[in-house]
Structure 1
C-alpha cells in the first residue's frame, strides 16, 4: 500500500516532534537512545533495540 503525500507529511511531523520532545526532556543521551532503538528495529537487531530501550527507560526513571 502506498501512503499519500499528506499521510507521509503527518508522519514526518510526528517523528520530528517526538525527536524534539525527547531532546528537550532527556537531552543528547535521549537522542542517542532513540537512534539506537530505531536502528535496532529497522535492522531487526534485538541487541541494539534493547540497548536503546534500556537507556530510554533509565533516562525516564532518573527523575
Structure 2
C-alpha cells in the first residue's frame, strides 16, 4: 500500500511540474482550481478550473 501511495504522489508532482513548464502560472491556477473543486465537491470551482485548462490546451501556441 505505501508503494501505491508513493507512486501516486510522484505522478501528481510530475504532472504538476509538466503543467507548470508547459502552461505557466495560469495552468497551475487552473489545475489548482480543478483539484480543489473535485476534493470539495464544488462544481463551480471544478468547472472553472476545467475551462481554464481547456482554454490553455486549445489556445494556439505563440
CA distance in 1, matches of 2:8, 2:21: 20
Total equivalences in the alignment: 60
4+ residue runs of structure 1 moved beyond 6 angstroms? none
Unaligned runs of 5+ in 1: none
> TM-score, normalised on structure 2?
0.94
Q: Please give the per-residue CA displacement for 1:16-58, whole angstroms capped at 9, x wherever unaligned.
A: 0100010011100000000000000000000000000000000
Match of 2:54 in 1: 57
> TM-score, normalised on structure 1?
0.93
Unaligned runs of 5+ in 2: none
CA distance in 2, matches of 1:11, 1:17: 10
Matches within 5 A, 1:1-63: 4-63=1-60
Deviation at 1:8, TM superposition (A): 0.5
